[in-house]
Amino acid sequence: MSPRTRSAPPGPPVDPVKARLLRLHVALLERFGPQRWWPGRTPYEVAAGAILTQHTAWTNAARALAALRARRRLSARGVAALGVAALARLIRPAGTYRVKARRLRAFTRWLLRWSGGRWAPLRRAPLGPLRRELLAVPGLGPETVDAILLYAAGRPVFVADAYARRVLARHRVLPPRATYEAARAVLEAHLPSDPALFNEFHALLVAVGKAHCRTVPRCAGCPLAFDLGGRPPART
């Protein structure tokens, strides 16, 4: 080979999107530290929390979980033994409690039917069919299902919620107004398939979304400002 001939460096091809996402993750981790999501003593508690926090602040969901725990009902069998009305009364602090009682019961019945309430089968089952089954449970949308899969079952599914989409669209990693599924596909295609990374990165995107990347972005002092390269954020 002539000394002037250029050859590609050894190893897999460089993925610039992956490199950029990992830089964003590191910058967020340095600023905000580990987020230690999702609070919950058991996988069932985590899943119940994912349902109860739909359309409400986590503090309200946490109060509903505490009420279930105080009555020793914070388990699949404990919830399944309650009628919808009794469950709704207990989870009232979470808001829209009648709807959420039906959703929590539907998920709980699915879990008991599918695995007898055990979580080990959810950690092993083929991911695509399992996700489709969960999406068929009434009241569980993609964001709730993916939170259950990632945070309760430890599966490599990125929760591409509104915070994540807004930050990454403003940085032009995602197109403006990317759908949930489109955003999830981009993130899962470019990031290493690592539940611990997905867990922490999602939580950190929420942290920066609350602290800086609000409806009107506050880029001054934001740990991700370096990535804009002097350009304004993209319109979202």
Q: How far separated are the first and last CA of the chain, in Å rounded?
A: 50
Nearest approach in angstroms of CB 229 to ligand SF4 is 11
Euclidean distance between CA atoms 131 and 37, whole angstroms: 21
Please, are residues 21 and 188 in contact by the beta-carbon 8 Å criterion? no
- Which residue number, 155 or 171, has a Cβ lying nearer to ligand SF4? 171
* CA angle centred on 152, ends 173 and 134, rounded to 5°: 80
Interaction of residue 228 with ligand SF4, rule CB under 6 A = yes
Nearest approach in angstroms of CB 95 to ligand SF4 is 28
- Which residue number, 103 or 171, has a Cβ lying nearer to ligand SF4? 171
Residues 178-217 that bind ligand SF4 (CB under 6 A): 208, 212-213, 217
- Which residue number, 100 or 171, has a Cβ lying nearer to ligand SF4? 171
DSSP per-residue letters across 195-224:
HHHHHHHHHHHHHHHHHTBSSSB--TT-TT
CB half-sphere exposure, 114, CA atoms < 13 A: 21
Interaction of residue 222 with ligand SF4, rule CB under 6 A = yes
Interaction of residue 171 with ligand SF4, rule CB under 6 A = yes
What residues make contact with ligand SF4 under the rule CB under 6 A? 167, 170-171, 208, 212-213, 217-219, 222, 224-225, 228, 233
